[in-house]
Amino acid sequence: METYIKKFISDVENTLQTLPIKEIARAINVIHATYERDGRIYIFGNGGSLALATHWVSDFNKTVFSHNLEKQTRRFQAIRLPSTEEELSAWANDVGYEMVFAGPLSNYIQENDCVIAISSSGNSTNIIQAVELAQKHNVAVIGLSGFDGGALNQLAEVKICVKTEKGRYSIVEGIHAMILHLITQYFQDYFDHATRSS
């Protein structure tokens, strides 16, 4: 059992060494520029990736300014799509599952916004539909993918691919979570420093 655990840890460590650091930095810059434009950040994914999107919105909207709630009146506007399970099931049932992200996104998207699309395979049809919609509106897309990146890694402006052999969802989703936590931590530290310096 210990050998199995060590092998899994080793696989994670090796994958971390291949992360596209410059692309993660670009993602942070895109999010910061969206904040400066008073735009919104829309994030979405299927299954475990939807759970990651939901978790990140909860953390990001609350945590970044948690030390400066009274001083920082303008905050990030991060929104998970769809915003409710009822909306997800309505789009899936009435229009088709391929529209569960693009449908809601089309109601809100504006040129000052950005999109974070999460897909381990990078090939989910509903993810690609929403990414293509964002591109039609000239909105920057940050793509978090895995394996070989799939179509998402080809289409996204910012390409964060966690490269593994196909099917290693546990590693890809775990590292996606780490990257999202990193982004939250970066902005919390950034605005804490900015507030102390002002």
DSSP string, 132-152: HHHHHTT-EEEEEEETT-HHH
Q: For 138-168, how does the pLDDT look when each residue is reduced to its tens digit (9 = 90+)?
A: 999 999 999 999 999 999 999 999 999 999 9
Provide the pLDDT for residue 198.
66
Q: Which residues contact 93 (CB under 8 A, 6 or more apart)?
A: none
pLDDT at 72: 65
Residue 49: pLDDT over 70: yes
> For position 80, what pLDDT does the model report?
97
Considering the chain, what is the average pLDDT of its residues? 95
CATH number of the domain encompassing residue 142: 3.40.50.10490
Residue range of the domain that includes 13: 2-197
Query: What's the gap between Cα 162 and its chain centre?
Result: 13
The answer, yes or no, to whether residue 70 has pLDDT greater than 80, is no
Structure tokens at 17: 């060494």
Following CA atoms 160, 140, 131, 122 in sequence, which dihedral angle do they give, to the nearest 10 degrees?
0
Length of the chain (residues): 198
| Residue 142, both tokens | 């940050």
pLDDT single digits (tens) 77-135: 999 999 999 999 999 999 999 999 999 999 999 999 999 999 999 999 999 999 999 99
Number of domains in the chain: 1
Q: Indicate whether 31 pLDDT > 90.
A: yes
